[in-house]
Amino acid sequence: MKYYIIAGEASGDLHGSNLVRQLKQQDTSADIRSWGGDMMEQAGAHVIKHYKELAFMGFVEVVMNLRTILRNIDFCKKDITAFQPDVVVLVDYPGFNLRIAEWAKQQGFKTVFYISPQVWAWKESRVKKIRECVDKMLCILPFEKEFYHKWGYEVEYVGHPLVEVIKAAKEQPADAPLSDKPVIAVLPGSRKQEVSVKLPIMLTMAKHFPEYQFVVAQAPSLDDHFLEGLTGQHPNVSMVKGQTYKLLRQAKAALVTSGTATLETALFGVPEVVCYKGNPISYFFAKKLIKVKYISLVNLVMDKLVVKELIQHDLTEENLLKELTSLLKDDAARQRVMTDYADLWHKLGEKDASKRAAEVIAQFAKA
């Protein structure tokens, strides 16, 4: 069978690579052409467009690169037509992939979307378009199945691919210690404007806990000079680059911005405080648009407050000190979190997501 897989980001390359390996086990004659990165190439896919050519974040950057984006879409359509795959597999990256799904469906290609767009958070009306152009939706969060059912669209929950990634990371031999002090992980995110607002507040904790080493996970998008300007005044603050999982394996607690990092931290079993503070105007409009109770994936999956969320005006030194002290000093509070984390792992880890997704895709391609 011939598979055309499109992954447009680093996370898509990671999950796409595991999917490629499993597809090759399910279908020994699999011919896989893809958009992705080095990991997908190493897994056995023929990568014809690297995700680094596609990563345009933010409204202004998208507008400035609109011509390139349109050229990429046109190239993608022509390449799919020339390859004539048995199925087109779209991995996350919804802005681009939903446009390709709509076109592919019109051309008569089978379409599978792996890792659902987060339409449950905003733009619920997009479900109508998804239902029309995506033959099979493979979801990685348990509540997404019920959400789509409400819209009359039956999808399949395959489990979360991060579980298998983190399980493998946790089984690696112990790393060299990042510090001779106990470590607190600081994961401030990747957007420079937001990091400049949040990180100084997060690092006020360093003076309150001099017996700990605060280690900042540096995103590839943030340069050394920028972060050093925010961290340099604290003697017990350091940075690591490309070692987030090593950091989480050693951390006693973590201060984490919203997003997938909150889930990764929980799956590593690290008690955390979720910290978010953005542009007041952007936050005002986001609050009007977003229709979820929590911003942390941990709390969304568990449908209750497992980890404390300090958002916008609540993200203060005083509030953060209270929550971090509780996680470090209150054994009962830590135990409650760890018990909920065990339930979270059970909810997300009942299935091997990559294997299950590959089974569904291979069977659908042959049908």
List pLDDT tens digits, range 92-127: 999 899 999 999 999 999 999 999 998 887 777 789
Reported as type and span, the H/E element at residue 133 is helix 126-133
Cβ–Cβ under 8 Å, residues 74 and 30:
no
State residue 351's pLDDT score: 78
Q: Is 293 helix (H, G, I), strand (E, B) or coil?
A: coil
- Judged against a pLDDT cut of 70, whether residue 55 lies above it is answered with no
Q: Is 54 helix (H, G, I), strand (E, B) or coil?
A: coil
Q: How far is CA 324 from CA 206, 216, 339, in A?
A: 11, 16, 18
Q: How confident is the model at residue 25 (pLDDT cuts 50, 70, 90)?
A: very high
Per CATH, the architecture of 2-159+351-366 is what? 3-Layer(aba) Sandwich (3.40)
Q: Is 46 helix (H, G, I), strand (E, B) or coil?
A: strand
Q: Return d(Cα 188, Cα 170) in angstroms, integer.
A: 22
List pLDDT tens digits, range 172-219: 898 899 999 999 999 999 888 889 989 999 999 999 999 999 999 998
In the chain, where are the structural domains located?
A: 2-159+351-366, 167-348
Angle at 125 between CA 122 and CA 131, to 5 degrees: 120
Domain 2-159+351-366 matches domain 167-348 at the CATH topology level: yes
Q: Return d(Cα 132, Cα 126) in angstroms, integer.
A: 10
Structure tokens at 36: 């992705």
List pLDDT tens digits, range 241-288: 999 999 999 999 999 997 899 999 999 999 999 999 876 655 555 555
Q: How confident is the model at residue 61 (pLDDT cuts 50, 70, 90)?
A: low
Task: List, in sequence order, every beta strand (DSSP E) within 77-152.
Answer: 87-91, 111-114, 136-139
Q: Return d(Cα 117, Cα 190) in angstroms, integer.
A: 20
Please state the φ and ψ torsions of residue 214, each to the nearest 5 degrees: -90, 120
Q: Return d(Cα 4, Cα 77) in angstroms, integer.
A: 11
Judged by average pLDDT, the poorest of 33-47, 55-69, 85-99, 217-231 is 55-69
Judged by average pLDDT, the poorest of 7-11, 118-122, 160-164, 356-360 is 118-122
List pLDDT tens digits, range 234-247: 899 999 999 999 99
Q: What is the 3-state secondary structure (H, E, C) of 230-241?
A: HHCCCCCEEEEE
Per CATH, the architecture of 167-348 is what? 3-Layer(aba) Sandwich (3.40)
Mean pLDDT of the chain: 91
State residue 125's pLDDT score: 78
State residue 174's pLDDT score: 86
Q: Rg of the Cα trace of the chain?
A: 21
Looking up tokens 């953060």 gives: 320
Q: Pick from 290, 268, 63, 267: which is nearest to 276 by CA?
A: 290
Q: Is 362 helix (H, G, I), strand (E, B) or coil?
A: helix
* Type of residue numbered 85: P
- Judged against a pLDDT cut of 90, whether residue 309 lies above it is answered with yes
State residue 216's pLDDT score: 96
Cβ–Cβ under 8 Å, residues 344 and 306:
yes
